[in-house]
Chains A and B, each alone.
Chain A
Amino acid sequence: MLSLTSSEGKLKAPRSRMTDTNLLTMITIVVFVAMYLYAYFALQQGFTKPQTMLNIISTNAYLIILACGMSLVMITGGIDISVGGVTALVSMSCAVYLDMHGGNVYVAMLLAVGIGLAFGIIQGFLVAYLKIQPFIVTLAGMFFARGLTTIIHTNPFNVENKDFIELKDSRVTLPDFLGSYTRKGRFIPATIELGVVVALIIVAVLFVVLKWTKLGRNFYAVGGNRQSALMLGINTQRTVFVSHVICSLLAGIGGFVYFMHVGSGSPSHATGAEMNAIASAIIGGTMLTGGVGNIIGTLFGVLSLSLIQNIVSSVGLDQAWWTGITIAAMLCIFLVVQSIIIARRKKTNMKLAASKVPKPKEASS
């Protein structure tokens, strides 16, 4: 976890110190582990069984995928708030296609990916090449997706396509040591949904892309400082475009994963998913200013967010409003901590830089 990243076009501390990205990720992971240990030892109930955590992951597999795409856009210095709308649109169109037109499951998957790509290409073009604010473009994208969802079909309904039900109910069985025994001593193997596998593959691929490919480094460079990135010869417009395409593509895939989990179409699906995705990315150490972020952090951001919801409801604060208040409090603490850490680091970095200059010039800013 030590400083592998040193090409972010930023003033760097000596190699032995952690980068901002890694430090923020570490904080998130530590907080998650602490919360889990608290739940395990203090609350017990279901938390001692691995299956409880696996269920939480299964429910939030789609959010992991959305948050990954969101982190990518945020690292590049933009934002995409259309992901929740795309998720709802994908689940509704797949549901209508499978149920009312007797569609094929594989074509439905293509449909999901296609919707994501279409949103990505249009939004990416508007943001990257016409230089319209990403917030406005994706806001319109969200409105459009939500509106289109109700135009396709107004009422929620369950899908009864046979192939799809089979796909929906299929589970991946994990190794025996994660399983548990019922009171009668019957062994229940631990299982996860297919969506989790998809989510983990995406996390792994994005991690590799961000860490070791030229494209990945470009995302950081463009987000860190667009002007310097341009001067280094990076095609900034194309980088921004690609980040939006990937984000919406992931929203399409995430939409299908969500659809596999709920098995129905409804205009009110995934309400507020975009805000949860942004919150997870921030808790995971991605900064909206761009240039700082880590996919592993985002993964733990989603897990922390969903774990705390479960903890809150199991300690007895089960009134609906507590969930919202806890998430907000958590977000607030993380943001303030991040801001303090970054401010302190900037100061020390400046001191370091000043000490290296033979004749220290007066600090003007």
Chain B
Amino acid sequence: MPNNSKVQPPKAPLWARLTKHQIIIPIAALLALALFNLIADPSFFKITLNETSNGNKVLSGNIISIIDSGSELAILALGMTLVTAASGGQDISVGAAIAISGSVMLRVLCGSDSHSATLQAPIIVALLIACLVSMAFGAFNGALVAFFKIQPMVATLILFTAGRSIAAWINNNELPIVNDESFGYFGNYIPGIPIPTPFLIAIVCFIVTWLFMKFTSISLYVQSVGVNEKTSRLNGLNPEFIKLMTYVLLGLCVAIAAFIKVSRISTINYSVIAKDIEMDAILAVALGGNALSGGKFSMSSSVLGAYVIQFLTTTLYKFEVKATALPAYKAVVVILLVVLSAPTVREKLARLGKKLKKSKPAGQAA
């Protein structure tokens, strides 16, 4: 991203610093959406404390549903940002990979009997196995990208095509149902905690990633590989390994997102689970102001971008847009955002602004 501090002369240091940072894009979009909702219907922001059927007090409201259902997207956005930054391409197989690791999880939990009354394995074991499988698939994608130098979108097209088929194959096309109540806690609410669990998981993931970035030089390595692979090799980095690692980390994010997705409904539907989520995840990265061609990145912007997308979705639902027609409206908003943040458009706007400023004093002098 070209910094636009040149465009806007700093009036206040904080403002200048903020506009310089790419996080301004998702924040602006979020504020615009919030303002729109505030004008259209202030009750959008109402949060109430309701009691569920089993006597559990939980918060509910549009805002809560946004932070709840945007969690998977936010977790995926973490990994997708790294992949985008390092390899300059996107992984389009995350939806299919979620289906695979969800399927693995249910296979481990239910064993051979798809409707068993008790869990066949502890949840943590299922989660770990799903993480390993998902990371293995991530490594497959990463190896194609890093060692065979195949463009990321094409390399992940393989898993995109095969993923849902593999997921169905793992469970022999049956739909196992988990009957254990505690499995549902991770996708809904833990008794006694009024905040939806997926949001808590997302926060934990974000903090872990942040600490990881803070105390290691991974973030610098990833950026330098994304900016210039040859130079980073000359500086003693191993670009192939770093690319591979970003895909493996995305695999980990996929497994956690799959865990939430499966836990929400305690079962799985191979063709529908996490459908089109890859598109949303890429949009979240783009909305976060990260260059899709790699290089510099900001995790928090992507995460915020993910919640902006969820905010948009919920807003559209509020206005009774049909679920199937949703993409059309989303597309219009996305195009508007992308056009406004395009470097050429910004330059032109800036030039227009300068012209206006110049012409004003000239007019006064005359």
Interface residues of chain A, those whose CB is within 8 Å of chain B, are: 79, 126, 129-133, 135-137, 139-144, 146-148, 150-151, 154, 267, 275, 278-279, 282, 288-289, 319-325, 327-329, 331-332, 335-336, 339-340, 343, 365
Interchain CA distance A129-B339 in the complex, whole Å: 11
Interchain CA distance A135-B292 in the complex, whole Å: 9
Residues on B with C-beta less than 8 A from A365 are 230
Chain B 339-353 interface residues, beta-carbon cutoff 8 Å to A: 339, 342-345
Residues on B with C-beta less than 8 A from A275 are 157, 160-161
Residues on A with C-beta less than 8 A from B150 are 335-336, 339
- The answer to whether residues A320 and B165 also contact, given A279-B157, A288-B151, A288-B153 and a CB cut-off of 8 A, is yes
Whether B328 pairs with A151 at a CB distance below 8 angstroms is yes
Whether B328 pairs with A139 at a CB distance below 8 angstroms is no
Whether B331 pairs with A325 at a CB distance below 8 angstroms is no
Chain B 310-343 interface residues, beta-carbon cutoff 8 Å to A: 322, 324-332, 334-335, 338-339, 342-343
Q: A147-B326, A324-B163, A365-B230 are in contact. List 20 more A-B contacts (CB 8 A).
A: A130-B345, A131-B342, A132-B342, A135-B153, A135-B282, A136-B282, A136-B283, A136-B334, A139-B282, A144-B328, A144-B335, A147-B325, A148-B328, A150-B325, A154-B322, A278-B157, A321-B168, A325-B165, A328-B161, A331-B161
Residues on B with C-beta less than 8 A from A131 are 342-344
* One of B90, B161, B322 near A150 (C-beta < 8 A): B322
Q: Tell me the minimal C-beta distance from B250 to chain A in angstroms.
A: 17
* One of A151, A327, A343 near B162 (C-beta < 8 A): A327
Interchain CA distance A332-B164 in the complex, whole Å: 16
Whether A150 pairs with B154 at a CB distance below 8 angstroms is no
Whether B151 pairs with A289 at a CB distance below 8 angstroms is yes
Whether B153 pairs with A140 at a CB distance below 8 angstroms is no
Chain B 280-300 interface residues, beta-carbon cutoff 8 Å to A: 282-283, 286, 292-293
Residues on A with C-beta less than 8 A from B344 are 129-131
DSSP majority for the A interface? helix
Number of A-B contacts (CB under 8 A): 136
Chain B 120-164 interface residues, beta-carbon cutoff 8 Å to A: 144, 148-151, 153-155, 157-164
Residues on A with C-beta less than 8 A from B343 are 131
Task: Please tell me if B3 contacts chain A, counting CB pairs below 8 Å.
Answer: no
Whether A339 pairs with B165 at a CB distance below 8 angstroms is no
Whether A143 pairs with B328 at a CB distance below 8 angstroms is yes
Interchain CA distance A337-B163 in the complex, whole Å: 22
Whether A279 pairs with B342 at a CB distance below 8 angstroms is no
Whether A139 pairs with B283 at a CB distance below 8 angstroms is yes
Whether B279 pairs with A147 at a CB distance below 8 angstroms is no
Q: Which residue of B lies closest to A147 (CB)?
A: B328
Q: Tell me the minimal C-beta distance from A144 to chain B in angstroms.
A: 4
A-B contacts, 5 listed (Cβ < 8 Å): A140-B335, A142-B327, A267-B324, A328-B165, A335-B144
Whether A151 pairs with B325 at a CB distance below 8 angstroms is yes
Q: Tell me the minimal C-beta distance from B245 to chain A in angstroms.
A: 20
Whether A144 pairs with B327 at a CB distance below 8 angstroms is yes
* One of A146, A289, A323, A332 near B165 (C-beta < 8 A): A323
Whether B292 pairs with A136 at a CB distance below 8 angstroms is yes
Task: Please tell me if B173 contacts chain A, counting CB pairs below 8 Å.
Answer: yes
Residues on A with C-beta less than 8 A from B292 are 133, 135-136
Whether A328 pairs with B331 at a CB distance below 8 angstroms is no
- The answer to whether residues A144 and B331 also contact, given A150-B322, A331-B161 and a CB cut-off of 8 A, is yes
Task: Please tell me if B166 contacts chain A, counting CB pairs below 8 Å.
Answer: yes
Q: Tell me the minimal C-beta distance from A295 to chain B in angstroms.
A: 19
Q: Tell me the minimal C-beta distance from B285 to chain A in angstroms.
A: 10
Q: Which residue of B lies closest to A365 (CB)?
A: B230
Task: Please tell me if B45 contacts chain A, counting CB pairs below 8 Å.
Answer: no
Interchain CA distance A65-B157 in the complex, whole Å: 21
Task: Please tell me if B169 contacts chain A, counting CB pairs below 8 Å.
Answer: yes
Q: Tell me the minimal C-beta distance from A333 to chain B in angstroms.
A: 10
- The answer to whether residues A282 and B332 also contact, given A130-B345, A321-B168 and a CB cut-off of 8 A, is no
Residues on B with C-beta less than 8 A from A327 are 161-162
Central interface residue in B173, B338, B343, by most chain A CB within 10 Å: B338
Whether B279 pairs with A143 at a CB distance below 8 angstroms is yes
Residues on A with C-beta less than 8 A from B293 are 133
- The answer to whether residues A146 and B148 also contact, given A139-B279, A323-B165, A331-B161 and a CB cut-off of 8 A, is no
